[in-house]
Structures are given as C-alpha cells and as structure tokens.
A = this chain, B = another copy of it.
Amino acid sequence: MQTEEEFKDFILNGHLYYIPSVTIDCAIFGYSNRQLKLLLIKHRNRDNWSLPGGYIKRSENLIEAANRNVKDRTGVDNLYLQQFKTFGGPDRIQFDKFDKTKWTEDTGLPSWEGNWLINPTVSVAFYAITDFSKTELHTDISTELCGWFEISNVPVLEYDHDEILKEALNSMRLHLFHYPIGFNLLPEKFTLSEIHALYETLLQKKLDISNFPKKLIALGLLKKLNEKLHIGAHRSPYLYSFNKQKYEQALKDGLVLS
C-alpha cells in the first residue's frame, strides 16, 4: 500500500481480498559482527513500536503473506521465514483502548463498529535471521518508521508483541540445535571462532567452543578446509565451509543434533 486511496480502500473493503480474523506477525532478527538486532516498525497513529505484519490475501499461503508483509513495510526481501507459533484469545488486541479520534481522521468513518478490522484476530508468527548490515529499509503508507533495535534495548511493544518476541527468541534458539539456520550469515569460508561467535550471539550465552562444532562436523554440515586464515605469526586458524547440499537437506528435513 503506497497511497492514501489504497489505505482507505483497505480499511473499508479489505475483507473482500483479505481473510478476516487472521494476521501474520514477523520477528526479524538481524546479525552482524557479534551483534543481534530486531526489526521494528511504527504504525501511523500508534504510540509504540511493533513487529512487522498484516493480513493474508485470499490468494496467498501463509509464507507468501509473511514475505509480502515484511517486504512492503520494511523493504527487506527474500528472507528465510520460519513459522513458530500462532497467538489468539479474546484479550490479545483490545480495540476499545484505541484512539477513536484518530480512526475517524484516518478513515472518515464516524466509528469502527461493524468494520471488518474490528474482529478478534489470530496471528500466525514467523521469525527470520538476516544480516542487518545488508538491508535497506523503507516504509509504506501505514508505517511511519522502521528500524533495527539492539536486542538488549527493545522498547515495550504494541499489542501482545512482547510475548510474540519472547517466544520467537525461544523458538529460534531451540531450532539452532536442529536446523542450520544462521549459516547464511557467515562468509563462504569462516573460522570456528566466527561460527562460535554467531551461535553465542544468537543464544546470548557462552558455549563450550571445544565441544560445539564437533556435532556440526559429524553431521557433515561443516567441512574443515585444507586452508588457514593468516591473522598473525602465531594465529592461523583453519577455515571451514558448509556443505550446501547437506544444508538444503537439513533445512527441509530438520536435524537432530542431540
């Protein structure tokens, strides 16, 4: 949505091309150089930041809707999105707390009663991890602001997005031990200390480096190269790469690292 006309049409007639009562929310994590960030947006007329998301078109499947919503609102494209949980319940969004004056200003409607947007919604949540240093952000008509926040410095979020974020982190961290997520954040050849830093940053805790990569090697995901990185006279760690074929297979089937 880029114009005021499209925005108004969405509010008035959106139920004709979107599924009512179901939304998508996305926790997009950004990693670069031992830093973990979170992508947040600010909707027009809302006081707090929130996760990007929106409704599902009647012609879309869930992952297509997630991709489109993230791309439209933030400019970030081609994410590997992983569905992790769906949120519902009568109290998750309380419309009676909304500012009725702003609604009227935006839509020209005297009240939202009977509008398709005022329905209890169930939200299907996804997470993704991308390299935040390579993204180019932009906003759309319903999004005033968009930006990367340090994970340790995330403000209080709109709706139930604090809970969604907490669960997104839990799921991503559990999946780290089962799927090769995050490998795409490393250069093609990397040292053990680079992959170790990636995992420690995503988990936000210390990992035993001597034990950790063995499992990845045993599974055939990680390959030790006959090549070293020359940092200094006494520092030339071996380089590793990952096996693309095994990686694709693992993304599809899952792996049990335990």
Chain A positions within 8 Å of B, measured between CB atoms, are: 19-22, 56, 58-62, 83, 85-90, 119-120, 122, 124, 170, 173-174, 177-178, 215, 254, 256-258
Q: Write 21 A-B pairs (CB below 8 A) sorted by A numbering.
A: A19-B21, A19-B122, A21-B21, A21-B22, A22-B122, A56-B122, A58-B120, A59-B90, A60-B89, A61-B88, A61-B90, A62-B89, A62-B122, A83-B86, A86-B86, A122-B124, A170-B254, A174-B254, A177-B258, A215-B258, A258-B258
Q: Which residues of B contact A86 (CB under 8 A)?
A: 62, 83, 86, 124
CA distance A215 to B258 in the complex (A): 9
- Contacting pair B258 A22 (CB below 8 A): no
CA distance A59 to B91 in the complex (A): 9
Q: Which residues of B contact A85 (CB under 8 A)?
A: 83
- Contacting pair A88 B62 (CB below 8 A): yes
Query: Which residue of B has the minimal Cβ distance to A88?
Result: B62
CA distance A86 to B120 in the complex (A): 17
Query: Which residue of B has the minimal Cβ distance to A215?
Result: B258
Q: Which residues of B contact A254 (CB under 8 A)?
A: 170, 174
Q: Identify which of A60, A61, A215 gathers the most chain B CB atoms within 10 Å of its CB.
A: A61
- Of the residues B83, B120, B215, B256, contact of A19 by C-beta under 8 Å: B120
